[in-house]
Structure 1
Amino acid sequence: MGTDSRMQILRLGDRGAAVADVQTALRSLGLLPDGDGAATPRPPQAMATLPDVALDSAVFDDATELAVRHFQQNRGLSVDGRVGEETYRALNEARWSLGDRLLRYDPERPVRGDDVISLQERVHELGYDAGPVDGVFGAETETGLRAFQRDYGLTADGTCGPATLRALRQLGRKVTGGRPQLLRQSASLVESGPHLIGRRIVVDPGHGGEDAGCTEGETTESDLVFDLASRIEGRLAAAGATVYLTRGRHQNPSPAERTAFANDARADLFIALHLDAHSSEHARGVASYYYGTGSGPSSTVGEQFANLARREVLARTGMLDLGSHPKTWDLLRMTRMPAVRLDCGYLSHPVDRLLLLDARVRSAIASAVLAAVQRLYLPAEADPPTGTFVLPAP
């Protein structure tokens, strides 16, 4: 969720060409009214016709902030009304429709956009595995597209050009009874069996190094989540899983490095651990997050595990339930396996802080995560009620 230090974060009151760029993108999506008050979608290329003086005088006003918040909410981003790297990139991705450009696999600079989502969904509908429907043209998408091209007598080059696009649009849907990718994910989970032996699980304690995360006095988020990750690592390893931590106690890899680590490890599951803080004295509780927008593509297994982990933590700690939520953060989107972020409480709240400082509670949270992982791979008929899964003795 970090912002590229080379890019200015745009916020209320800012002016200039970068603001005009954002406003044009918002207008193209029908989220920001024109001067006449009409919020009508229009081509992003319209910005090119604006004079330089108009670009330089553009103001990030209240209407722009409201439109940004609306966009962030719809796209599963953090809703703060500011435009950082992730929001700006999402605005750029949203402007592409399938057919606007050639789509091909570039391992150095993967193509990202809503047109890729449309392609992935269409390939899945035709019965081919294009990998996660995440808007990133990766190796799995290329493999699925090549298989489709080969079967339908097209040049199997893995590129979505005019001929492939025509074929995709002309053919009828072959997979019915639900969204194909979701059906495939669920079936794969059941077929993999209930055991943890041999499963590769990456645990990602947030922050680290000079980035302490949330702090309260001498207590830091980075230290607490590292301790928690170590406890989870021990329990999962004892159950037979192969467990990797994304960082050492004093390291702080970037989000891209964390996701690359998990992908290189060919992990089966990715668990990110965080705490939270807020200026409100009432903010407290446990929340979990998985990849998805709430209305579009999502990770079925990620959502399932996010709910399992959150409920198991609540059952073992008595903390407040803040629910599970879909997000399109890169940490959840760019991992090639089901990924979940678990926020284990508010360091800013005295009750949550007291619980988190208790080693017994951190052990209970670790046991809750183990129970959730075990339950994830159990068939529905063998899944016990929340909080009752019998764990092996530590």
Structure 2
Amino acid sequence: MGPIDGVFGEHTRSVVRGFQADSGLDSDGICGPDTWASLIEAAHVRGSRLLYMQSPPMRGEDVAQLQRDLAALGFPAGPANGIFADRTARATAEFQRNVGLVPDGVVGPETLRALERLGRRGFPTESVVHVLQEQQYLLSSGSLGAMKIVIGENGGMNTLAAAVRRSLSDNGAHVIVTADPDWSNQAAQANKFGAELFIGLQARPDRREICYFRSQNSVSVGGRHLAALVAERVSPLLGPISTTGMRIAILRETRMPAVLCRLGSADRLVPANAGVASAVAASVRCWTEQSRGA
């Protein structure tokens, strides 16, 4: 990063961009709340503290490593999002029970030693985690008519959100719309609702991409699949759209498959709202059918 001179210059900005890219954040070189939080979380290394359930939940790279280790040993703790929530606590307790430890869900020295001992046996971490995620996605998917879906927007996309809600509701889904500038609040609302799918809409004049959750050795299989379907169907209406794996709040904190649709400027979307809404609904319908092998 160069000398510590207290000046946020171009070199520091470049380093921040690199850290953001590696962390799955928007690489804008601005050290805002999400970047600060990621810097703090990155400092939590394996074994540096006890891990356990609390409110708000503990976060950090040590939690993500724990989630990857548990999944590799056959104890899926959800996506490796670095958040010690209920699924991670349950997986930890189940692992402890299987290795003869007190199943208290607290990760201390004994639990870490057991994880390290079994991990040295050469389990193919990445492939095991991927297979478990594929299985969980296939088992959890159902018909569109039975789905609880949340459409979220954080400003300027309310017309498109309403159009998407109508299109999905017409297909029998139970849909609600959330509007909040804070994506973490929207994730909490979706989790409380018990949603099976979250579709975020964001006005970003500089971006046309469909984002899904991805971190080291972990990916939302359902989110990635839906992102590809939406990009394929919306691109003919708006121009080329990419898919991007990210670790931003709305994708990380939701407990269900989620995508964030960044479709450019809200003003330019207005003439295409009806077509985009129909394309998103068709993508979700195809997503549910393909996940069931239909």
Q: TM-score, normalised by structure 1?
A: 0.69
Between structure 1 and structure 2, the one with the greater Rg is 1
- Rounded to whole Å, the distance in 2 between the matches of 1:181 and 1:377 is 22
Code of the residue aligned with 1:169 in structure 2: it is: E
Residues 1:232 and 2:143 are matched in the alignment: no
Q: More helix per residue: 1 or 2?
A: 2
RMSD across aligned C-alpha pairs, in angstroms?
Answer: 2.2
Structure 2 counterpart of 1:29: none
* 3-state SS of 1:98 partner: coil
Do the aligned partners of residues 381 and 142 (structure 1) sit closer, same or farther apart at CA in structure 2, a change above 3 Å counting?
Answer: closer
* 3-state SS of 2:93 partner: helix
Code of the residue aligned with 1:334 in structure 2: it is: E
* Residue 357 of structure 1, CA deviation: 2.7
* Residue 237 of structure 1, CA deviation: 1.5
Residues 1:368 and 2:268 are matched in the alignment: no
- Rounded to whole Å, the distance in 1 between the matches of 2:293 and 2:85 is 36
| Number of equivalenced pairs | 293
* 3-state SS of 2:151 partner: strand
5+ long unaligned stretches in structure 2: none
Residues 1:272 and 2:180 are matched in the alignment: no
5+ long unaligned stretches in structure 1: 1-31, 36-53, 208-221, 279-284, 384-394
Do the aligned partners of residues 184 and 83 (structure 1) sit closer, same or farther apart at CA in structure 2, a change above 3 Å counting?
Answer: same
Do the aligned partners of residues 238 and 181 (structure 1) sit closer, same or farther apart at CA in structure 2, a change above 3 Å counting?
Answer: farther
Q: Give 1:308's match in structure 2, choosing from 218, 222, 229.
A: 229
* 3-state SS of 1:203 partner: strand
Residues 1:113 and 2:60 are matched in the alignment: yes
Code of the residue aligned with 1:150 in structure 2: it is: R
* Residue 344 of structure 1, CA deviation: 2.1
Residues 1:329 and 2:238 are matched in the alignment: no
* Residue 306 of structure 1, CA deviation: 1.0
Q: Give 1:346's match in structure 2, choosing from 255, 265, 268.
A: 265
- Rounded to whole Å, the distance in 1 between the matches of 2:52 and 2:122 is 24
* Residue 379 of structure 1, CA deviation: 3.1
Do the aligned partners of residues 286 and 79 (structure 1) sit closer, same or farther apart at CA in structure 2, a change above 3 Å counting?
Answer: closer
Do the aligned partners of residues 109 and 342 (structure 1) sit closer, same or farther apart at CA in structure 2, a change above 3 Å counting?
Answer: same
Q: Give 1:188's match in structure 2, choosing from 136, 159, 180.
A: 136
Structure 1 counterpart of 2:270: 357
- Rounded to whole Å, the distance in 2 between the matches of 1:182 and 1:143 is 20
* Residue 148 of structure 1, CA deviation: 0.4
Between the aligned residues of both structures, percent identity stands at 33
- Rounded to whole Å, the distance in 1 between the matches of 2:266 and 2:190 is 27
Residues 1:291 and 2:213 are matched in the alignment: yes
* Residue 253 of structure 1, CA deviation: 5.1
Q: Is the Cα–Cα contact under 8 Å of residues 200 and 243 in structure 1 kept in the other structure?
A: yes
Higher-RCO chain (CA-CA 8 Å, sequence separation at least 6): 2
